[in-house]
Amino acid sequence: MLQTATNWTVHQKIRYSELGKTIKKRARADVRKFNCEQTQKIIEETNSAKSANKFLPNGASSIIAMKRPDSSVTNKKNEILALTTEFYRNLYDSKTEIEPTSWRQARRSRR
């Protein structure tokens, strides 16, 4: 039988809170993964980040400025598209293996 939240022990409250955080993180990760896959698919099919920009859902903001590799900033849309296309092309062509780390390990390494 389920207990009401007022009857929970401190350990149960912490566990419930951590479970909620984990669910939210995984939901965000799933959305990011889906968006990345869709963006990658569009860029591979059309070879253009401009087409991927149309994929943004309603209400999503577009990038208004971007830093170039030489650290200067551009706000010209065609340059932003070119930089984005080049970035993703390099990213998906990369053969580097990245080992996943948990947020706890990352947090410990910052201390």
DSSP 7: G
Q: Which residues pair with 17 in a beta bridge?
A: none
Q: Taking all residues of the chain, what is their mean pLDDT, rounded to a whole number? A: 77
Q: Are 65 and 75 in contact (CB under 8 A)?
A: yes
CA gap 106, 102 in Å, rounded: 6
Closest CA to 32 of 54, 60, 51: 60
Note whether residue 108 is domain-resident.
no
> What element of type H or E holds 68?
none
Note whether residue 101 is domain-resident.
no
Closest CA to 40 of 84, 6, 75: 84
32-48 per-position pLDDT tens digit: 888 778 777 877 777 77
The boundaries of the domain holding residue 14 are 10-94
Note whether residue 82 is domain-resident.
yes
Note whether residue 111 is domain-resident.
no
12-35 per-position pLDDT tens digit: 888 888 988 999 999 988 888 887
Give me the number of domains the chain comprises: 1
Confidence of residue 70 (pLDDT cuts 50, 70, 90): very high
